[in-house]
Structures are given as structure tokens and as C-alpha cells.
Amino acid sequence: MAEIVLAYCSSHAPMMSSARMAAPEEQRNNFFAALDQLRDEAAARGVQVCVVLSNEHFTNFFLENFPQICIGVGERNWGPTEEWLPIEKVWIPGHPGLATHIAEHTLASGFDPAFSHQLELDHGIMTVYHELDPRMTLPLVPIVQNCAVPPLMPVRRAYEFGRAVGDAIRSYPGQTRVAVIGAGGLSHWIGTPRVGDIDEEFDRWFLGRLERGELEQVLDMPDSEIELAGNGSHEIRSWVAVAGAVEPVRAHTLAYEPIHPWITGMAVAHWETPR
């Protein structure tokens, strides 16, 4: 059966690509060193396909049709959609076999994901995917989560969905070596007077819960409490989903930097999985 040989999460602020040098040098170096380490790990572990969970930013969906989950099951997806993002616009190979298996398994597990045979991918997925594979040839299964438009999936439900995704991957026939990646967060505000603020206390608290295996303190948090750390903080759902996919493994924070020029608490965390 397939194996999850790499699991990690990373913030996906678009400025990590479009305004890379705006970040203070030490913070920038610490953040990208963590992603460089994970790129090397992916090569060493022979990753053959990556499953990336992230929100999107009104790229494929708007208020007339906004699913809680959409799985990209097609042969290819296009990205990035932002013209100003300095990443080459390309067709990215998918993995229909694994993606369809994940869709079928999560349906059988009590979830109702939408699916798409061609998604347009914005910075939410593309920044982190590009750091993993600058050539953008590694097959990608994108899983888009709603972290933007209420009502949002409860955090506990996101964790349970991640657990179902992990079970699906581990039941996929063959010897496929899979990376599971969450993209988004941590604290930030978008489109409000608090743009540029970062809630470092919340970020460090959340990372601590992942490291200590104390997710029960996170899973039943109401949206109103999460939003005290910014409307962009709802993206912790991607992190929680990855934690569910590899439970009971605990996370290890590789980098945390409150990078104000990127208006985001930027973090990278890794879950040690069997090689």
C-alpha cells in the first residue's frame, strides 16, 4: 500500500514569492532554510506525489457556489493564477488514481467533498508547492478547503477529514510514496484595518499544541475565538488536517518568524514519519 513518507505544513503568504527580499534577512533565511530542509527530505525519501491541503482565495469558487472541500482529481491543474506572482505559469501534473481514491474513501467515511477535473491554483497552494519542487513536475493532488466564507467547517471536522485523507492514502494500492502538506496561516488579517498585525502569542500557542499533542485545546475552538488572531487564522484548518492524517505523530516546529512585511506569522512544522 501507499505510504506517507513526508508530512509538513507551511505558511503561504504570497509575499514569500513576490516580495521575498522585503523580509528581514535573518527571518527570511530561517523560514526558507526550513523549506530547503524539507525539499531535501522529499528527495531523500523518494516522494512520488504530494497531496496539498489549502484554502483558495475566490479563484475557483465564489458566493454562489463555495464547497467546504474540493479535491482535484484531474490529469492536470493550472497555476499560479496571479499574474504578479513570480512563479512560472504552467500545467501541473495531477494524480487521478490517488485523488479519486481519496475522494471515494472520504465519501465512504461520511464526508461530501466536491471534485474538479481542472482546478486553477492560486498562491495558497502554488507558493508551497513551488518551494517543494521548483521544476513543478511532481504530481500534485490539490485539496481545497473553505477557510474564507462562513459557515466554515468546524476545526474538529477538519481534523477528522485529515484523518480520513490519511487513511485513504494508506489504503491506496501500490508502493506510492506520498507527501502530505498543509498550506496557510498562521495569524494575519486580510481586508481589515488590522492588515499587517501579527498575533505572535496565538501562533506560538498553536504551534505548542501541535508539538505537545494537545490538539483537544484547539479542535473545539469557535470561529469567533480563532478570528481574534485574524480572519486569515482560519487557515489553521489545513494544519489540523495534516495532524489528523498522521496521528498520533506530534509536530516539530522548524521555523516561526513574525514577518511584518509579509503581514503574516510565518511558520513551518514537520511531522516525523517512517522513511
Q: Residues 24-83: pLDDT tens digits?
A: 999 999 999 999 999 999 999 999 999 999 999 999 999 899 999 999 999 999 999 999
Let me know if residue 98 belongs to a domain.
Answer: yes
Q: Residues 145-161: pLDDT tens digits?
A: 999 999 999 999 999 99
- Classify the phi-psi angles of 58: left when phi > 0, otherwise alpha if psi is within -120 to 50, otherwise beta: left
What pLDDT is stored for residue 192 in this prediction?
A: 94
Rg of the chain (C-alpha set): 17
Strands 3-10 and 177-183: parallel
Q: Is 91 helix (H, G, I), strand (E, B) or coil?
A: strand
Can you tell me the mean pLDDT for 166-194?
A: 97
Task: Please report which confidence band the pLDDT of residue 143 belongs to, taking 50, 70 and 90 as the band edges.
Answer: very high
* Domains of the chain: total: 1
Grid coordinates given for 7: 508530512
Q: What angle do CA 238, 217, 240 make, to 5 degrees?
A: 10
CATH of the domain at 56: 3.40.830.10
> How many other C-beta atoms lie within 10 A of the C-beta of residue 53?
30
The C-alpha atoms of residue 85 and residue 18 are separated, in whole angstroms, by 6
Let me know if residue 179 belongs to a domain.
Answer: no
Q: Residues 17-32: pLDDT tens digits?
A: 999 999 999 999 999 9
The C-alpha atoms of residue 9 and residue 132 are separated, in whole angstroms, by 11
Let me know if residue 152 belongs to a domain.
Answer: yes
Let me know if residue 99 belongs to a domain.
Answer: yes
The boundaries of the domain holding residue 14 are 3-174+188-271
What pLDDT is stored for residue 274 in this prediction?
A: 79
Q: What is the DSSP letter of 246?
A: T
Q: Reply yes or no on whether the pLDDT at 275 is more than 80.
A: no
Let me know if residue 183 belongs to a domain.
Answer: no
Q: Residues 183-223: pLDDT tens digits?
A: 999 999 999 999 999 999 999 999 999 999 999 999 999 99
Let me know if residue 135 belongs to a domain.
Answer: yes
DSSP string for residues in 123-173: HHHHHHHHHH-TT--S-EEEEEE--SSSSPPPHHHHHHHHHHHHHHHHTSS
Let me know if residue 181 belongs to a domain.
Answer: no
- 141 within 8 A of 71, measured Cβ to Cβ: yes
- 175 within 8 A of 242, measured Cβ to Cβ: no
Q: Is 12 helix (H, G, I), strand (E, B) or coil?
A: coil
What pLDDT is stored for residue 224 in this prediction?
A: 97
Let me know if residue 28 belongs to a domain.
Answer: yes
